Amino acid sequence: MQTTLIIIKPDAVQRGLTGELLSRYERKGLQIVAAKFIQVSEEIASKHYAEHKEKPFFGELIGFITAAPVMVAAVRGPEAIAICRKINGATNGVEADPGTIRGDYAVSKQLNLVHASDSPESAERELALWFNGEIIDWSRQNERWITG
């Protein structure tokens, strides 16, 4: 089982898509093991986007993610990282396939609604940053009907 980070970004929150987007991960069979609605601080944003610090768009990233509240969630399941990234679709909404979150709701690269960790290493780092010991290990009674 993998656990990964999902961020429902400010644009999705402002558009009232939070519930719809979270439900897509659950409907796929993934389990939400932590979630919180927060106003992101510049400190957390800078740590989250640290790999982009020297890039010219770093300031825009920080400004965007701190502009309005976000919903962060820890999502668990077999191959959760790959599954979440497929559910999200291509980063640029124009290029994202219909049926994906971005393909259905995004029309730009900058306002792309969601974030998902891109590797096990990123997931571990990001989950520690956003959920310091807050992830709940719990079992669903129907798990065998989802994952086999």
- What are 92-137's pLDDT values in tens digits? 999 999 999 999 999 988 899 999 999 999 999 999 999 988 898 8
Which residue in 112, 115, 116, 130 is the catalytic one? 115
Residue 76 has pLDDT above 80, yes or no: yes
**Superfamily classification of domain 2-132:** Nucleoside diphosphate kinase-like domain (3.30.70.141)
- Mean pLDDT of all residues in 41-46: 96
User: Mind listing the pLDDT tens digit for each residue in 13-35?
Assistant: 999 999 999 999 999 999 999 99
How open is the CA angle 55-60-65, to the nearest 5 degrees? 120
Cα dist. 2→19, 23, 76, 79, 97 in Å? Answer: 22, 18, 6, 6, 25
Split at pLDDT 50, 70, 90, the class of 139 is confident
Domain boundaries, the chain: 2-132
* pLDDT value at residue 110: 87
In this structure, the strands spanning 114-116 and 31-38 are unpaired
Is residue 115 flagged as an active site residue?
yes
What is the rounded average pLDDT for all residues in the chain? Answer: 95
